[in-house]
Amino acid sequence: MKKKITLSVLVLSILSLVVFFTLQKKVPVINPPIDEEDKEYDLNPEVPFVIVIDAGHGPFESLDKEPNAPGSTDMKYKSVVGATGNITRVLERDINLTIALQLQTLLTEAGYTVVMTRIDNSVNLSNIQRATIANEHHADLMIRIHNDSSSNHENHGASVLVPANVGYAGPIVAISAKYGKIILDTLISEVGMASRGVKTRSDQTGFNWSKVPVMTVEMGFLSNPEEEQNLVNTSYQTKLANALFKGIDSCFDGYKWYPLIY
């Protein structure tokens, strides 16, 4: 009898060890645990990534104001007018839109789910509204497309702006900076313009209300004569769109992406 019990204990111990090690192997190593409330957020990399493209500015300037960040009493204009080319009088909003539409085509053809904040000059969106569109679509990335401008006409080159730890943006600061660097580096190497670096900004309403990775790409200065001539050139615009596509694709290539909890 004693022998039987000893044998049973031995068999049970071995079985427990087998079960233990089998379970150990099944513990997911890629995806961290998901909060109950985030269950609707799709973490399956088989599902196309969602890119929200925001062509900066719109049909008119709005003198209405909105909070710079959730709960903030600092009020900023809902939408400001973009830059204008000194030589050609081209409007920034139109260049932004042209490149945004080309980028939409490239990303869609590559299998991304693309959401546009605007596809023409008929809507006047505030910065909170733009951020909300990306939040509601659980975007994997929101890219805000702009041109720069300065009273110093010598200023030139591209920069990427990324959020600081303000408002909703805390959890997406690091990933936005990572993607921002990849996209700026690609833009510089593909188009050949000067780099002004990745800049962290705490004053951008569109960042402070964002719950998803976000950046603003400043594709050169409309106030710089040479860059203005480039920016109105259709083949240069296509080059910019291709470079942005390549940069975005590099962010998600090989699922370097990791699930975000927000």
Whole-number minimum distance, CB 194 to Zn ion, in Å? Answer: 19
Region of 38-46, 77-85, 195-203, 248-256 interacting with Zn ion (CB under 5 A): 77-85
42-48: long-range contacts at Cβ-Cβ below 8 A with a sequence spacing of 24 or more? 42/138, 43/259, 45/255, 45/257, 48/111, 48/112, 48/113
Binding footprint of Zn ion, residue count (CB under 5 A)? 3
Query: Quick one: tokens of 255?
Result: 């699922």
φ, ψ (nearest 5 deg) of residue 133 = -60, -45
Number of H helices, E strands in the chain: 7, 8
Q: Which is nearer to Zn ion, 50 or 103 (CB)?
A: 103
Region of 15-23, 78-86, 137-145, 195-203 interacting with Zn ion (CB under 5 A): 78-86
Closest-by-Cβ residue to Zn ion is 146
Whole-number minimum distance, CB 43 to Zn ion, in Å? Answer: 33
CA–CA distances in Å: residue 15 to residues 18, 24, 27, 203: 5, 14, 19, 60
Regarding 58 and contact with Zn ion (CB under 5 A), the answer is no
Residue of 49, 52, 56, 167 that binds Zn ion (CB under 5 A): 56
Q: Which residues lie across from 141 on neighbouring strands?
A: 51
Region of 54-62, 188-196, 226-234, 245-253 interacting with Zn ion (CB under 5 A): 54-62
Write the interaction track for Zn ion spanning residues 134-173; mark x where CB under 5 A is met and - where it is not: ------------x---------------------------
Region of 34-42, 56-64, 170-178, 191-199 interacting with Zn ion (CB under 5 A): 56-64
Q: Which residues lie across from 146 on neighbouring strands?
A: 218
The enclosing H or E element of 227 equals helix 225-231
Residue of 58, 82, 167, 220 that binds Zn ion (CB under 5 A): 82
Q: Which is nearer to Zn ion, 22 or 152 (CB)?
A: 152
Dihedral sign computed on CA atoms, order 119, 115, 65, 177: negative
Question: Do residues 87 and 23 touch, judged by C-beta distance below 8 A?
Answer: no
Whole-number minimum distance, CB 110 to Zn ion, in Å? Answer: 26
Q: Which is nearer to Zn ion, 112 or 224 (CB)?
A: 224
Burial environment of residue 171 by CB neighbours within 10 A (0 to 12, 13 to 18, 19 or more): middle
Whole-number minimum distance, CB 163 to Zn ion, in Å? Answer: 17
Q: Which is nearer to Zn ion, 82 or 180 (CB)?
A: 82
Q: Which is nearer to Zn ion, 50 or 95 (CB)?
A: 95
DSSP helix/strand/coil, 128: helix
DSSP helix/strand/coil, 51: strand
Whole-number minimum distance, CB 104 to Zn ion, in Å? Answer: 18
Whole-number minimum distance, CB 145 to Zn ion, in Å? Answer: 9
The whole-angstrom separation of Cα 84 and Cα 222 is: 7
Query: Which residues of this protein are in contact with Zn ion, per CB under 5 A?
Result: 56, 82, 146
